[in-house]
Structure 1
């Protein structure tokens, strides 16, 4: 049954629909010589320039269509008789949309008749219309469910009212032996791997099959091809497949659709009302050359004629952002502690075992056959995690230092739901500053009204005016900056022989103010403590007393050493420079900072760089309210180490318990301490990174 399209004003519902579909319209041509078949996508608009399609001498036109076809004319013609032909002008445009999907091919019809000056019929153009619903759907509202045709699925917006789907780098391994990262394989070997991927659903409704020659293709750009892969279920039933572990061959129910070598591939149109599920995996993290955004497109192609390429008549786009790698600060709950066992670190190891057991966390000891004598667990790796609404797992960042522990992160940590990432640098560019004792992260802070709910990464570099200083290698710095959510801060650490920020600073939890304190090494605090001892009559109290083979040194000797005093004045100036940077960049007041009494000495062989004079108490491990602190072997007063007493007093006010661990021979003498020799995997933040206001 046909309905006549009148000259009256456009109905309000059509005005609204036209506004909604303005971004999804395509031009269609009429042919008065022969009927045409047209495939229409629900939610879009067909635009026909009536004058361009008209026979010569046409002055008027009329339009008829079946009830499920909505038509309007732009600009709206002047109203005359209800059934009279409409005057044709050069700008007359017919806008066509449909309200429901077709049950059969060509089950709707539209005709346009053209008339001469005296209303004689000059031609009749007929369109046979088939309507289909097509949507490429993702979890654009970030609630863990793939909703239908979210209007914001084609863009990304940060914040709690933001939108856009999230993609994880599939950097774990479903295997525990002969392991390989899942992102390195062009196939799925276990169904469990699918949960690391983002779901994407192709939803269609319409006739049993598309008209002859039409096809659906999924495609990505060349620039995105190195960052993403797409798999699909072979059929609707495949999503219910339960498969056992497969080691020898890929799962046949999940064929690869798109990768770096296949940028476009036809995908099935299933007919009637149907869904086909796809699985999208990220292949690389945001970096200097990759902002983390990926677009996946689905296009409906129309045939022109045999031998000519098809042309796209509709494209739906889904945008993903690759989840960043996120570091965890000392204020988050520990999960597991990692240390090395070596032939000479028994005292250290015993102290760590007692501390971890008392704290109630898991302990992983890397034995010598794995560490090959490399005891610096902190320097080799940094723990973090990746997160999305559908999946979250820890990811270890492997440093480019590549000591004898270099295989530990990959061989011992990588596995199911435990990812791995590294950055490769040229050996000539790698220095001590690339060890991850030089990579820390603050607790959450607010700075001048700007929130950093995931804290800020802290790295050590050369002084800004230095021309020959050491720096963290560029590939690592670029990676850290590209993660966006923990904007880095650069401190001056090249004044130290080893050059790590953990030699002069750390964070501990606190019950008040900003919920943490920044601890800074302070030679000034050290000299103040020693002068107080002298004034109280303890000038002859000895440091290192009974510590073989060290020679004991009195408080008076330390205070009378003018050269040592001058060196510590220099060190204090370096730390004060960093103190000012941290106060500004973290929004700290002096009340948020605690100065720890620690002295340094300069090493001429290292280019007059500084080393801790006695075990560096700031270089500690933080396990909830329990602190593992290098035993300083300070001067004893009434049988108690004055340095330990001061630390206990300072930390006790925060409700923290101090355990002093003897690392003197096995770590301190090798220019490291407790923190350098340990590492902690922690619980992730409750805050979701995509809610960050960027």
Structure 2
């Protein structure tokens, strides 16, 4: 299919037709299976002319040295014989001329995604060469060309329907797994568990991978982006996900450049938005970085940022997340579907909302209600004690200012109004990190760090103060969200995730259906 602004569409052939001793098909210079052809774009050369060319004249296909790093061209000789016609080692090949009206079929394979220094455009040329004299090279007297655009890697927001949910099984997360199983079963989706022999004790499924997809008019398949964090889950995406019609891509950074901000809890995407008249039908990527004026802040590594920006169809937004010890945007924000307004709500953690709720409860005579009630190894705290802690209030004033800065960025860059945002009652505390910097962690389970499965939400169980036998934080969450047609399920992740500085979203991942909207219809 030829598109107005970029020509024909080309997929990166990053899946693997092999299921054992596998590697991405881009790493082999031959076609191992006829099924591999659907990952490629067909290119047909049609000729109409005399019975034969004059003596010494010939047709030649050719590509530039720069484009040769990004594409391979195979020539079809028979149904089961596909010859590698052009690659980084063969920049041109003579094309047989059959005379009269004829056509020849080629298959074009993308080798790499758009990235810094590569805009995804590839040109394949066909030239008619004329002989000058013996011993001199032929010269082109006519050249035609076709331009291919490499399909971008596309992320999927929470508003798209899930396909399957991924979690890890560890020695201590039985309670979490039980809650996740019940939620996924109730929601009607598939649950895939990565067991101990595979995860080697690494439970942070969200941080290791981000699911996306690539699309063309002739074919589409999911592609997992593997983060440079390379924890003990590092082999999971390659060994367990890569396969036929399931692609794999990664970006390798120097080890010294990798920080917690390179985990993919720090990589999200908004639902579709319109901002100052510009439509983003595939949403916008959201990452967390250091505050612009910081001199010692942590940032998402450059190779990952370059990759995300180069995809172009989901123009990224950078938020300030370095104020958190872990430093991930999913610690203070998420999106949920909604039946009105823009089709979604932005949920933001809000210490101000938490203090408003707790002071209201105190004024109603519930000051002796205890946080962490029912947790054997956790020191319980009354609302009165919490509200008397001036130091904690000061810390949360700082946290609120950080979230407010991000709130303004999100409103501006996503075209949001206050009515599109819901503030969730969540407190934080400051702790000293490994670099002797004071950064924030959630004071109790961070309810914004939830999993969104259609209208069903899996929310960290907060263990808030009980009022009339019910957790006041759970009641407030239900009050804020159930009016949108959402169902709240609270999952106990306290010991196995919260105490390790993560929550439900950090410990899970969701592969979702692709957008109905086709990226090649974007005006860019």
TM-score with structure 2 length normalisation? Answer: 0.99
Q: 1:516-665 to 2 correspondence within 5 Å?
A: 516-606=344-434, 607-665=437-495
- Is 1:485 matched up with 2:313? yes
Q: Secondary structure at the match of 1:261?
A: coil
Whose relative contact order is higher, 1 or 2, with alpha carbons under 8 Å and at least 6 apart? 2
Per-residue deviation, residues 273-324 of structure 1 (Å, max 9, x unmatched): 2111000011100011101110000111111222221111111100011111
Per-residue deviation, residues 524-571 of structure 1 (Å, max 9, x unmatched): 000001001101110000011120100110010110000000000000
- Is 1:181 matched up with 2:24? yes
8 Å contact 2:127–2:140 — kept in the other structure? yes
**1:378 and 1:268 mapped to 2: Cα distance?**
52
Q: 1:443-482 to 2 correspondence within 5 Å?
A: 443-482=271-310
Identify the residue that residue 523 of structure 2 maps to in structure 1: 693
**1:259 and 1:401 mapped to 2: Cα distance?**
32
Alignment counterpart, residue 215 of structure 1, candidates 58, 63, 87: 58
Identify the residue that residue 140 of structure 1 maps to in structure 2: 2
Q: CA deviation at 1:270?
A: 2.0
Per-residue deviation, residues 418-445 of structure 1 (Å, max 9, x unmatched): 1000000000000000000000000000
8 Å contact 2:11–2:39 — kept in the other structure? yes
Identify the residue that residue 201 of structure 1 maps to in structure 2: 44
Alignment counterpart, residue 682 of structure 1, candidates 489, 504, 512: 512
**1:270 and 1:472 mapped to 2: Cα distance?**
55
Q: Secondary structure at the match of 2:347?
A: strand
Q: CA deviation at 1:380?
A: 0.2
Q: Secondary structure at the match of 2:100?
A: coil
- Is 1:399 matched up with 2:227? yes
Structure 1 stretch displaced more, 369-378 or 264-273: 264-273
Alignment counterpart, residue 499 of structure 2, candidates 669, 675, 680: 669
Q: 1:215-364 to 2 correspondence within 5 Å?
A: 215-234=58-77, 238=78, 241=79, 253-364=81-192
Q: Secondary structure at the match of 1:653?
A: helix
8 Å contact 2:335–2:345 — kept in the other structure? yes
CA RMSD of aligned residues (A): 0.9
Q: Secondary structure at the match of 1:349?
A: helix
- Is 1:192 matched up with 2:35? yes
8 Å contact 2:323–2:440 — kept in the other structure? yes
Larger radius of gyration: 1
Task: Decide whether aligned partners of structure 1 residues 662 and 413 sit closer, same or farther in structure 2, where only a CA change above 3 A counts.
Answer: same
Per-residue deviation, residues 572-626 of structure 1 (Å, max 9, x unmatched): 0000000000000000000000000000000024511000000000000000000
Q: Secondary structure at the match of 1:255?
A: strand
Q: Secondary structure at the match of 2:268?
A: strand
Q: Secondary structure at the match of 2:38?
A: helix
Q: Secondary structure at the match of 1:433?
A: helix
Q: Secondary structure at the match of 2:309?
A: helix
Alignment counterpart, residue 210 of structure 2, candidates 382, 387, 396: 382
Query: What are structure 2's unaligned runs of at least 5 residues?
Result: none
Identify the residue that residue 264 of structure 2 maps to in structure 1: 436
Q: CA deviation at 1:272?
A: 2.2
Per-residue deviation, residues 196-247 of structure 1 (Å, max 9, x unmatched): 001100101223322211111100011111011100111xxx2xx2x5xxxx
Alignment counterpart, residue 515 of structure 1, candidates 337, 343, 354: 343
8 Å contact 2:62–2:126 — kept in the other structure? yes
**1:546 and 1:654 mapped to 2: Cα distance?**
30
Identify the residue that residue 373 of structure 1 maps to in structure 2: 201
**1:280 and 1:667 mapped to 2: Cα distance?**
46
TM-score with structure 1 length normalisation? Answer: 0.75
Q: CA deviation at 1:488?
A: 0.4
Q: Secondary structure at the match of 1:364?
A: strand
**2:252 and 2:371 mapped to 1: Cα distance?**
44
**1:333 and 1:532 mapped to 2: Cα distance?**
37
Aligned residues, how many?
522
4+ residue runs over 4 A deviation: none
Q: Secondary structure at the match of 2:13?
A: coil
8 Å contact 2:199–2:233 — kept in the other structure? yes
8 Å contact 2:325–2:433 — kept in the other structure? no
